[in-house]
């Protein structure tokens, strides 16, 4: 589906990723852990094709559908929620009944089924985050890239995203996400620790518990 081969990324003259190599398995749900500025978001941007590789490469199998969810948009378009989803569906090649059905499902997932015509600039940060997730899922992607997926979400929204990640893995899809180590949940199957742009650890996530704050913090800062 996707393979990273010696990926190095330089942004604004600074090397933010250095010789990163890994190949997720189908069904992997991978949490990228690391301090702010460690390179987690840059890895996702490179995988989404938003920033170029300075060395190495990312290989994505032909036909792989990719959904990318940024932490937040720098500027929100002055459009309605249903229009935002419709634009996403059209860009993914949907039209007619499949497009209308995808927009309806997206509005339902975002909790906006009864407010399809609300403007995005009138929504709270939490609803905007849900809308971003809904748009990324509109064409049922094989690979889902999530940057800080829990930011601005209330506990109910957080549980919804955790279920989404777990269900995606069970369905054989691959999820790679930059997450806060202090809130690492058991929906993840693997955790990668990134330090100064390098992948330094790849460990399985313990199963059978709902939250793993102490474990996640220990992985990032073993003391």
Beta strands in the chain (DSSP E): 2-11, 14-22, 29-33, 55-60, 66-69, 143-147, 174-178, 190-195, 198-204
Query: Does any domain span residue 211?
Result: yes
Query: Does any domain span residue 26?
Result: yes
Q: Whole-angstrom Cα distance, residue 74 to residue 119? A: 16
Q: Are 53 and 46 in contact (CB under 8 A)?
A: yes
Query: Does any domain span residue 19?
Result: yes
Residue 87 φ then ψ, to 5°: -60, -40
Q: Can you give the pLDDT at residue 105? A: 94
Q: Are 80 and 120 in contact (CB under 8 A)?
A: yes
Q: Can you give the pLDDT at residue 207? A: 57
Per-residue pLDDT tens for 167-208?
Answer: 888 889 999 999 876 556 778 999 899 999 999 988 887 654
Per-residue pLDDT tens for 10-25?
Answer: 999 999 999 999 999 9
Mapped onto helix, strand or coil, the DSSP state of residue 74 is coil
Which residues span the domain enclosing 57?
Answer: 1-64+143-154+173-223
Query: Does any domain span residue 3?
Result: yes
Query: Does any domain span residue 96?
Result: no
Separation of CA 193 from chain center: 16
Q: Can you give the pLDDT at residue 182? A: 57
- The CATH number of residue 22's host domain is 3.40.50.300
Backbone angle region of 12, left / alpha / beta, with phi > 0 → left and psi within -120 to 50 → alpha? left
Q: How many CB atoms lie within 10 A of CB 122?
A: 12
Q: How many domains, the chain?
A: 1
Strand 198-204 and strand 190-195: pairing?
Answer: antiparallel
In order of 13, 49, 58, 137, the CA distances from 10 in angstroms are 6, 14, 15, 29
Query: Does any domain span residue 219?
Result: yes
Query: Does any domain span residue 183?
Result: yes
Where does residue 13 rank: exposed (0-12), middle (13-18), buried (19+ CB within 10 A)?
Answer: exposed
Query: Does any domain span residue 15?
Result: yes
CA quadruple 91, 85, 59, 147: dihedral positive or negative? positive
Q: Can you give the pLDDT at residue 126? A: 87
Beta bridge partners of 190: 30, 204
Question: Which stretches of the chain drop beneath a pLDDT of 70?
Answer: 74, 181-184, 206-223
Q: Can you give the pLDDT at residue 209? A: 43
Total-model pTM = 0.86
Q: Can you give the pLDDT at residue 179? A: 87
Mapped onto helix, strand or coil, the DSSP state of residue 163 is helix
């Amino acid at each position: 589906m996707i393979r990273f081969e010696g990926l190095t990324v330089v942004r604004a003259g600074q090397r933010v990723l250095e010789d990163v190599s890994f190949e997720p398995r189908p069904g992997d749900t991978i949490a990228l852990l690391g301090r702010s500025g460690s390179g987690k978001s840059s890895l996702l941007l490179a995988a989404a094709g938003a920033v170029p590789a300075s060395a190495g490469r990312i290989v994505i199998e032909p036909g792989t559908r990719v959904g990318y969810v940024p932490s937040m948009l720098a500027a929100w378009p002055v459009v309605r929620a249903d229009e935002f989803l419709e634009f996403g569906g059209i860009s993914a090649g949907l039209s007619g009944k499949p497009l209308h059905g995808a927009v309806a499902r997206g509005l339902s997932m975002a909790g906006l089924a009864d407010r399809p015509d609300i403007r995005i600039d009138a929504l709270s940060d939490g609803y905007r985050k849900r809308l971003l997730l809904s748009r990324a899922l509109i064409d049922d992607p094989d690979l889902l890239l999530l940057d800080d997926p829990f930011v601005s979400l209330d506990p109910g929204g957080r549980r919804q995203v955790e279920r989404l990640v777990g269900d995606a893995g069970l369905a054989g899809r691959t999820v790679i996400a930059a997450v806060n180590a202090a809130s690492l949940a058991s929906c993840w199957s693997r955790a990668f620790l990134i330090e100064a742009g390098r992948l330094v650890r790849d460990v399985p996530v313990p199963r059978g518990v709902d939250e793993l704050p102490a474990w996640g913090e220990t992985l990032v800062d073993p003391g």
